[in-house]
Amino acid sequence: MLGCYVRTMLPPHHLTDDSMRAVTISTNLLTALVAMVLSLLISSAKDSFNGINGEVAQSAAKIVLLDRTLVNYGPEAEETRTFLRHAVDSVIEMIFTEQDSRLTTLTAPERLAGMEQFQAMLRELAPQSGTQRSLHSHALKLSDELEQMRWLVIGYERNATFPPLLLVLTLWLSSLFFGLGVHTANNTIVVVTLFVSALAVSGAVLLIEELNHPLDGLIRVSSAPLHTALAQIGR
């Protein structure tokens, strides 16, 4: 809109073919830059989203395996299984229900203490046979892998778009649409077309931000794998 307004204020000699040709070259250059950067950012954000989604699914599978390992260990591990179920239920509630930052939730001291308490309960088990020793070792390995996955999720969640990059991208887009407004006639069709185009590009930037924070916002990873795992624990 500012570009369309500036066009009406410019003297005629600023709107010659040579001047408009320079504006066209500049807008074409900006269009190429914006298209390249947006495509790269969307691809990177999608990889981040898929990464956390995969980690959640793998965590759910390992939780079920850990529970079955404790079942096979024997009744001595029943208390540990109960703690595991409560821990998984708490994780689902805190990450997929609360409105606070999920990154803050994952790094909260109580979450660290809870996992450490569970691993301490595992270590306190005293296997009496070769089978129990093998199952005990496997359970400890699975718990370590679950803890590692949590930190991988935190790493993906921290992989957000840098504010300076968004600022530069916003300046490019503003310059691009300003040039388009100067270059074109000021009528309803032009205004509507530019508005729809700006809305589409803004939607792409929003998509990037949403995919970069898959535990918050409108586009979030599914909690279905963890709910399925929770339903299997205790059977």
Residues of the chain under the 50 pLDDT cut? none
Measure the N-to-C terminal CA separation of the chain; round to a whole number of Å: 63
The answer to whether 169 and 34 are in contact (CB under 8 A) is: yes
Q: Please tell me the predicted confidence (pLDDT) of residue 134.
A: 92
Indicate the pTM of the whole model: 0.71
Nearest to 70 by CA among 135, 21, 11: 135
Q: Which residues are within 8 A (CB) of 234 and not within 5 positions of it... i.e. 6 or more apart?
A: 67, 81, 82, 85
Q: What is the pLDDT of residue 158?
A: 60
How many angstroms separate the Cα of 172 from the Cα of each of 18, 35, 39?
Answer: 23, 11, 15
SS3 4: helix
Query: pLDDT by residue (tens digit) across 161-220?
Result: 567 888 888 898 988 888 888 877 777 888 888 889 989 999 988 888 888 887 777 888
Q: Compute the C-alpha angle 76/77/81, nearest 5°.
A: 150
